């Protein structure tokens, strides 16, 4: 059927081109990303009425084992670190180590242990694999529907796909969420 061509099956428009669908009563649009950065903030003691946090640490990595295989004169040489691991800044002594191997063979700047160590030191700052995945379920009061804020009701409107900011000072949460 027509909906299967658009999405939900292998080879569909969404599967092939990636993106999101926006439907109205008489039009279907293919967008790279629905919504906008709304500028709306949901904050504890302002308009947040509930917060449920699910934390997933299953795929979280707290150490990497960098290596490189370099070919010189038809001979392969494996470059690795004497200490084996580069630890995440989030790693605490005594934590169970969850490490992955990172291959730097294609990095032309890596020629020995020192350059391998330097290349891998910034790995965690440029990747989020050492951070838990958070699923936030947020309930909030639309202040535009209250008597005190009704003159601002159009300023705080959010729609499907919009990005908004979430703040909870007591739990030290500062995040962006997508509707």
Chain segment 51-91, per-residue pLDDT in tens: 998 988 888 899 999 999 998 888 999 999 999 999 998 88
Q: Delimit the domains of the chain by residue range.
A: 1-33, 35-57+132-179, 63-121
pLDDT higher than threshold 90 for residue 134: no
Q: Are 86 and 63 in contact (CB under 8 A)?
A: yes
Q: Is the pTM of this model over 0.75?
A: no
Q: Which residues pair with 101 in a beta bridge?
A: 65
Which residue reads 């700052």 in tokens?
125
Dihedrals phi, psi of 107, to nearest 5 degrees: -80, 110
Please, where are the H alpha helices in the chain?
Answer: 2-6, 13-17, 113-121
Give the pLDDT score at 8.
73
- Please give the mean pLDDT across all residues of the chain: 87
Nearest CA-CA partner of 70 in 124, 122, 123, 115? 115
pLDDT higher than threshold 80 for residue 169: yes
CB within 8 A of 154, min separation 6: which ones?
A: 144
Q: What are the angstrom distances between the C-alpha of 74 and each of 10, 69, 108, 112?
A: 43, 12, 17, 17
Mean pLDDT of 153-158: 79
Give the pLDDT score at 82.
94
């Amino acid at each position: 059927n027509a909906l299967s061509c658009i999405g939900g099956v292998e080879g569909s428009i969404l599967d092939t081109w990636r993106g999101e669908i926006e439907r109205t009563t008489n039009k279907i649009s293919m967008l790279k990303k629905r919504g906008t950065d709304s500028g709306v903030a949901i904050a504890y003691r302002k308009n947040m009425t509930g917060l449920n946090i699910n934390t997933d640490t299953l795929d979280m990595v707290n150490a990497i084992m960098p290596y490189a295989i370099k070919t010189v004169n038809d001979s392969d040489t494996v470059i690795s670190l004497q200490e084996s691991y580069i630890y995440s800044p989030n790693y605490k002594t005594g934590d169970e180590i969850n490490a992955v191997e990172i291959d730097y063979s294609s990095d032309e700047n890596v020629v020995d242990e020192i350059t391998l160590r330097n290349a891998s030191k910034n790995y965690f700052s440029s990747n989020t694999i050492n951070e838990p995945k958070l699923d936030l379920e947020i309930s909030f009061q639309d202040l535009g529907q209250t008597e005190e804020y009704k003159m601002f009701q159009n300023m705080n409107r959010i729609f499907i796909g919009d990005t908004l900011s979430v703040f909870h000072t007591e739990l030290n949460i500062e995040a962006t969420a997508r509707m």
